[in-house]
């Protein structure tokens, strides 16, 4: 009788149901989403800092140009050419640099050079003024 009672109770128990488990896919989906968001964040931060760095570098180059002392024409011509070339990033500055560079060339690559002439100084000052307006 006990056995019959036990079997009657067992007939009400249903078999185990298969429960769909998508947690594995959710887990990897969240990981991929987190990696993508991190990459996007890093991209924008690097882009912002790179842009800021370029602006700071340009300001530094401009300050170096303004600080050139023309007492030593040879060394000054080298410095002016170097920093002016670094600042020549837009069309107007490139054009002015292409006009300034030949004037500075005659003060470089020689053992003895004469003093800077007024035309070269005027072109240099014009270039510095244009660079100062755009930086």
DSSP assignment of 103-127 equals HHHTTSS-SS--PPPHHHHHHHHHH
Q: How many CB atoms lie within 10 A of CB 19?
A: 5
The model carries a pTM of: 0.63
- Looking at residue 44, its pLDDT comes to 95
* pLDDT score of 112: 87
* d(C-alpha 87, C-alpha 63), whole Å: 11
pLDDT of residue 113: 85
pLDDT (tens place) for every residue of the chain, 135 residues total: 566 666 666 666 677 888 888 899 999 999 999 999 999 999 999 999 888 887 788 888 999 999 998 999 999 999 999 999 999 988 999 999 999 999 999 888 888 888 989 999 999 999 999 988 887
Residue 87 pLDDT: 92
Q: What is the pLDDT of residue 134?
A: 81
């Amino acid at each position: 009788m006990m056995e019959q009672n036990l079997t009657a109770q067992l007939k009400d128990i249903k078999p185990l149901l298969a429960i769909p488990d998508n947690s594995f896919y959710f887990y990897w989906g969240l990981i991929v989403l987190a990696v993508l968001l991190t990459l996007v964040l890093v991209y924008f931060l690097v882009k912002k800092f790179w842009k800021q760095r370029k602006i700071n570098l340009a300001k530094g180059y401009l300050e170096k140009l303004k600080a050139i002392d023309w007492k030593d024409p040879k060394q000054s011509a080298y410095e002016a050419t170097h920093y002016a070339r670094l600042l020549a990033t837009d069309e107007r500055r490139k054009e002015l640099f292409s006009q300034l560079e030949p004037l500075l060339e005659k003060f470089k690559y020689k053992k003895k050079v004469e003093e800077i002439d007024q035309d070269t100084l005027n072109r240099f000052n014009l270039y510095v003024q244009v660079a100062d307006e755009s930086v």
